[in-house]
Amino acid sequence: MAESPFKPEILRGKVALLTGGGSGIGYEISLQLGKHGASIAIMGRRKHVVDSAAASLHSLGISAIGFEGDVRKREDANRVVESTVKHFGRLDILVNAAAGNFLVPSEDLSPNGFRTVMDIDSVGTFTMCHEALKYLKKGGPGKDPSTAGGIIINISATLHYTASWYQIHVSAAKAAVDSITRNLALEWGTDHDMRVNGIAPGPIGDTAGMSKLGLEGIASKAMEKMPLFKLGEKWDIAMAALYLASDAGKYVNGTTLVVDGGEWLSKPRH
Ligand code: HXC
């Protein structure tokens, strides 16, 4: 893992809440936001995962806490947001990284299976944004009223830019996430001085997305057509999150930053 090119204090004094922040890409973002000065709250469905992620961050000197919760339940979203603010006194950054996924041909996918992923990825993202707004907005509790409002980062994907085999539910869900990003950027950017952006990771090594989707075996094939000829690292996504969460990205609002080495737009050379 390369050294971070960012100064270690760029997020000093900030508080970040990450859904799905206990493992995979979400954990790496938790780690890097924490290493750059933010206090970290992690929300996830599995208590042992969020607790052990928070303990790992603690062991590195990062102020961190885990909260069990399911983004599909509004009462969980509300409880975790309130607990985060109770614990750390404020909320500056929300990262929506919780996601559900499985490979299934459309003809074998039940409407409830489709709805389940929509509920986690799309409705869950909106629910978290909605519950966090009163703390994220400019002048929210614990904040200096003269500073800008908070930041939201929604983790998306690139698979809905074209079409992806056996991913109809995730494609639809991530397209909705991108739409949520743009609409909240417009409304909350204007009304609350907030920035709402997304990150669309490409194939990232050592993640649930790669192993669950059986992509590890075909990764070498993907590399043949990738302009940068390699898989991404979780670190690459975390650096994009740092850029968007810090003042480096202060003029960026409503965009979903593709971090994939150019993979989605490339075709095999023949
Ligand atoms: C077909 C399936 C299925 C499968 C579940 N369902 N798994 N259908 N194939 N493999 C259907 C069920 O039959 C059911 O519909 C409905 O979905 C709900 O299933 P449950 O098991 O009750 O849901 P739940 O326990 O809430 O689990 C949610 C989950 C689960 C999404 C199904 O897999 C999950 O949360 N996984 C962990 C998160 C995860 O995968 N993270 C990695 C994300 S990677 P019926 O009709 O039977 O009731 C990622 C990358 C995206 O997002 C980009 C990649 C390029």
In a domain, 7, yes or no: no
Domain extent, residue 75, equals 15-259
CATH code (residue 216): 3.40.50.720
In a domain, 9, yes or no: no
- Hey, whose CA ends up nearest to atom 53 of ligand 1? 157
Q: Which two tokens stand for residue 54?
A: 């928070």
pLDDT in tens, 201-254: 999 988 887 777 666 655 666 666 666 667 899 999 999 999 999 999 999 999
Pocket of ligand 1 (CB under 6 A): 99-102, 104, 109-110, 112-113, 116-117, 157, 159, 170, 208-209, 212-213
- Hey, whose CA ends up nearest to atom 6 of ligand 1? 113
What is the rounded distance in angstroms from the CA atom of residue 212 to the CA atom of residue 3?
29
Residues in CB range of 202: below 8 A, 6 or more apart? 158, 232, 258, 259, 260, 261, 263, 264
Q: Which pLDDT score, from 0 to 100, does residue 243 have? A: 98
What's the whole-model pTM score? 0.95
Q: Which two tokens stand for residue 83?
A: 């607990």
Q: Which pLDDT score, from 0 to 100, does residue 223 have? A: 67
Distance 132 CA to ligand 1 centre (A): 26
CB atoms inside a 10 Å sphere around CB 111: 8
Which H/E stretch holds residue 151? strand 151-155
Under a CB-based contact definition with an 8 Å cutoff, are residues 170 and 125 in contact?
Answer: no
Under a CB-based contact definition with an 8 Å cutoff, are residues 187 and 194 in contact?
Answer: no
Question: For residue 9, which amino acid is it?
Answer: E
Q: What is the DSSP letter of 2?
A: P
- Hey, whose CA ends up nearest to atom 14 of ligand 1? 113
Q: What ipTM goes with this model?
A: 0.94
In a domain, 70, yes or no: yes
From 43, 71, 102, 154, mutation site for ligand 1 pocket: most ligand atoms within 8 A of C-beta: 102
In a domain, 8, yes or no: no
Nearest atom in ligand 1 to the alpha carbon of residue 108 is 1
What is the rounded distance in angstroms from the CA atom of residue 241 to the CA atom of residue 234?
11
What burial class does residue 28 get, using C-beta atoms within 10 Å of its C-beta: 0-12 exposed, 13-18 middle, 19+ buried? Answer: buried
Distance 115 CA to ligand 1 centre (A): 10
Q: Which pLDDT score, from 0 to 100, does residue 217 have? A: 58
In a domain, 102, yes or no: yes
Count of domains observed in the chain: 1
Helix (H, G, I), strand (E, B) or coil at 200: strand
Residues in CB range of 86: below 8 A, 6 or more apart? none
What's the sign of the alpha-carbon dihedral 25, 162, 160, 209? negative
Q: Report, as ranges of residue numbers, the positions in the chain whose pLDDT lies below 70.
A: 213-229, 270
Distance between the two ends of the chain, CA-based, in angstroms? 33
Q: What is the DSSP letter of 158?
A: S
In a domain, 269, yes or no: no
- Hey, whose CA ends up nearest to atom 12 of ligand 1? 113
Question: For residue 219, which amino acid is it?
Answer: A
In a domain, 2, yes or no: no
- Hey, whose CA ends up nearest to atom 23 of ligand 1? 116
Per the prediction, the chain carries an average pLDDT of 94
In a domain, 64, yes or no: yes
